[in-house]
Structure 1
Amino acid sequence: MTTGGLHALQSWLAHEADERDLELVCAEHPDLSRGEPDRTVVRLSTCIRETANHELVELLLVGARLVTVRLDGCAEPGAAADHVDPVVRVLRAAGIDRLSVEPGGPAEPVGPAAPQEGVAGARRAVLDAHRLPVPRRRLFGVAASVARDLPEPEDDAHTRLVHAIRALVPTATPELTELDSPSLRLTGRGCVACGVCVQACPPHALRLQHGSGGAGIAISTLLQTPAACTGCRSCIDLCPSDVLRSAGPWPWSELLVDREVGVTTLTTASCERCGASFPTTSGDRLCPTCTYRRSNPFGSALPPGFTMPGSTTPGAPSTAR
């Protein structure tokens, strides 16, 4: 996916005095000079399916009144529609009808005087998404000063999409409570509070919280921030205890607020020997590993079913010298 593919267009819009009705078309469109006269048509440098969805939504924040994605000249209109459809559905579920898709199949080149079927015949200028015109008045500093805030470029794609939708959607609607988001609702029955999932989560959507339970015991809770989760499943795939599971996606309404939810809670203690946190219900002061080492200072555990020469007990350490 092209990172920053619409940054130049966003910057251009942010400095325009008036909001624009945009019409975005793929680079392969054969003839896009004809269409609705009140739209500002912009040719992308690639197909719309390679444009990040968060950048499309951000256009509505920096000076676009409406954004229409036109697919009548797209080489792969089905794939392009599937790519844009998730954000269109989110905005419409929130009651915002400012991003739309005009479907169609690949168009054949047409003559300069022949309008395409179903498209208004007015001629209009075609702008390049990466080489946009700058009025002379602005160059000489005599144009009206307009500068809308641009998105933070260092944020990841998921964070930018969530921030953009939050800016457009002040409160959740009933439809958003039924619309699945990319974020996963996690469960962790049997969790040992090892913290591997916390370290494995790229967007830092997980956190271990240890609260005092008295007498050296802690109440440990694995917390998840739904808005930060991208659904990458790294936490599930790397859980050493294989207990972290997905209970399905969070609804989009959960991503409109910053809050943490508990995945699982357990009683833990800090090992007096190695300092590691381990689950306990009996008040033990040593983790299972240190307990074994204290009981067997000169022994070692062998794989299950393995028998050392001279021993008849599977898994028993050898006493041979």
Structure 2
Amino acid sequence: MATTDLHTVTETKRDLRRQRLGRWDVKASPYVYIAPFFILFAIFGIFPIVYTAVISMMDWDTIRNTGSFIGFENFADVLNDRKFWVALRNTFSIFLLSAVPQILLATFIAAMLDHQLRAKTFWRMGVLVPFVVMPVAVGIIFSKLFADESGLFNQWLGMVGIEPIRWHVNVLASHFAIATMVNFRWTGYNALILLAAMQAIPRDLYEAAAIDGAGAVRRFVSVTLPQIRPTMIFVILTSTIGGLQIFDEPRMFDSAGNGGADQQWLTITMYMYNIGWGDLNFGKASAVAWLLFLIIVVFSLINLLITRKFIKSDSPGGK
């Protein structure tokens, strides 16, 4: 009898332990699964940001790998540097010439691919091919296409009696050429993201709109755009961040890679690179990085507010 009671008590304790482990597993296991990402993000994301902020306030000695605290002097030097403001102008000009047409064209392509096309898989894969091409290859090819004298585009212009454009001298022309390179690479990528959102829209909504007499354009404006609103916000934000961080295309636009003889297409990231690895002034380069970070945050928030205002959701659960 005593042996049976002891066995029962032991089993009861085991059941209690299993229950505790089960409750702990349910509560703790999600945190364990996501912990590796946050640990890696803290090491390779948060730590470099904080470390850059510290260096930006120091006169950094690259030989001894130490520095003396100088406060906001690096920021003042950057803001008083003419090249910074030229680079800022160029960055925003290239960003506007690339991001706006890119999003409009990507939305149009996605809407066309959402229809029942023959060989639709081929067309959907085809729009992603430019994104697979290496940025360096794209830069080299387009720098030849936009060559000042013997470039293909200038040859086409000559056929219709238009004077050749000096793509590597004129400020606006160089920005247009670089924006064309950016659009070539990223339009198809954004189109596929928007296409995925469009295909998730219930077809019943289109059928109901068609029964109510809505045409193709009306269905697109009243059904498609509100339904893909979260994806559109994502595409606009990523395009803003990527556009303000542009580096590869302007860097490869000529053989020198310095942003032009008079900084015609020098961008913020190129300016930061030249200071950090050209002048070996890591403190000033870190200050530029933080100024760029603040600019991106501000304009991303502005884009978010504008997008939410003009792309309103008409779905029952929309806000």
TM-score by length of 2: 0.21
Greater strand content: 1
Quick check: which has more Rg, 1 or 2?
1
Greater helix content: 2
Higher relative contact order (CA 8 A, sep 6+): 2
